[in-house]
Structure 1
């Protein structure tokens, strides 16, 4: 596990969102990172579809997405 340096403003957004979503700050940050990663690899999908992808495979990684993109 590494240390991620983010702005105070983004940390505050994470803190507020984590309370609303009943997640830890780290879990909220990980969720946003995964959604952003999925959005970059699947620009035609909406948020609901991206969340469905996470539900099907919560351990999705950049490597697995790259392999799908190459084979498509």
Structure 2
């Protein structure tokens, strides 16, 4: 495990978002890092497509809401 230095402003955003998403601050930051890396590696995919691909790779069945 390493240490990543980030601005106080970004840390504050991670803290607030982690509370809403019910993740630890570290888990929220790791999620953003992972999604950002995947977005850079796959610039033609939308956020939703990236999440769907990750769910499939983890063998998670995603359920679509009615109307989507």
Query: TM (normalized to structure 1)?
Result: 0.74
Deviation at 1:54, TM superposition (A): 2.2
Partner of 1:54: 54
Aligned pair count reads 58
Q: Which has the higher helix share?
A: 1
**RMSD of aligned alpha carbons:** 1.1
TM alignment of 1:26-37, pairs within 5 A: 26-37=26-37
Which structure is higher in RCO with an 8 Å CA cutoff and minimum separation 6? 1
Deviation at 1:52, TM superposition (A): 1.5
In 2, distance between residues paired with 1:21 and 1:5? 22
Deviation above 4 Å: which 4+ runs of structure 1?
Answer: none
> Which one has the largest radius of gyration?
2
- Where structure 2 has 5 or more consecutive residues not aligned to the other structure, the ranges are 59-68
Query: TM (normalized to structure 2)?
Result: 0.78
In 1, distance between residues paired with 2:9 and 2:29? 13
